[in-house]
Chain A
Amino acid sequence: AQSVAQPEDQVNVAEGNPLTVKCTYSVSGNPYLFWYVQYPNRGLQFLLKYITGDNLVKGSYGFEAEFNKSQTSFHLKKPSALVSDSALYFCAVRDSGSNYQLIWGAGTKLIIKP
């Protein structure tokens, strides 16, 4: 069975500091991994994805994520947080060898304080 976990319901970071939003997954085969962001009263927006290739993936708004196969993680990072990064962040995973749907994490609320 495939699953994804976002262990933190909320992450608080001061503006200008680096931020990390954690995601771990479990699949039988190779994972396809995604990060999406949701601003208040809006739909989800794609940030970045890992399908294959370089473990470090760069995405929109200065975000990046590192695929770590040994730790089965795909943490989202940004070197310097902005207040406008405050939003709800979702990690999603799919087993490349299955016909199963994307499995979504519960979401992590990121709060950037000025």
Chain B
Amino acid sequence: DAGVIQSPRHEVTEMGQEVTLRCKPISGHDYLFWYRQTMMRGLELLIYFNNNVPIDDSGMPEDRFSAKMPNASFSTLKIQPSEPRDSAVYFCASSFQVWTDTQYFGPGTRLTVL
């Protein structure tokens, strides 16, 4: 298996633009997680899905952020409009079961909003 795949690996955009991050989880994994990592706040869980259904989005910072999982092999995290404070590394992770199971992380997308 290729592991969790994320695209793009790097994204540079200007304030106000829409940004879409993409994730393909490991086949057969029922859970998908979106994280954000910054120096100031560390690793934060934004939202997670179970069988394509969002379970907990309490970590989503504000309405500018939205996430979807239209099928078991694809998820998106969208920021509209983007702001400089959104600059961070965004990780997608997947796992077979819930919290006792290992989460497998993608390589991340480094987002820079100018």
Assign chain B's interface to a size class.
Answer: 10 to 19
**What sequence of 0s and 1s flags, for each residue 17-53 of chain B, a beta carbon within 8 Å of any chain A beta carbon?**
0000000000000000000000000110100100000
Chain A: minimal CB distance from B7 (Å): 13
A46 with B42: CB separation less than 8 A: no
Q: Is A53 an interface residue (CB 8 A)?
A: no
- Nearest A residue to B92 by beta-carbon distance? A43
A46 with B102: CB separation less than 8 A: yes
A43 with B91: CB separation less than 8 A: yes
Chain A residues with Cβ below 8 Å from B105 are: 36, 43-45
Q: Is B104 an interface residue (CB 8 A)?
A: yes
Total interface residues on A, CB under 8 Å, equals 19
Distance in angstroms between the alpha carbons of A64 and B38 in the assembled complex: 28
B108 with A102: CB separation less than 8 A: no
Chain B: minimal CB distance from A62 (Å): 18
Provide 22 A-B residue pairs closer than 8 Å at the C-beta atoms, listed in order of the A residue: A34-B102, A36-B105, A41-B107, A43-B4, A43-B93, A43-B105, A43-B106, A44-B43, A44-B91, A44-B103, A45-B105, A46-B102, A49-B100, A49-B102, A51-B100, A94-B99, A101-B99, A102-B45, A102-B99, A102-B103, A104-B43, A104-B45
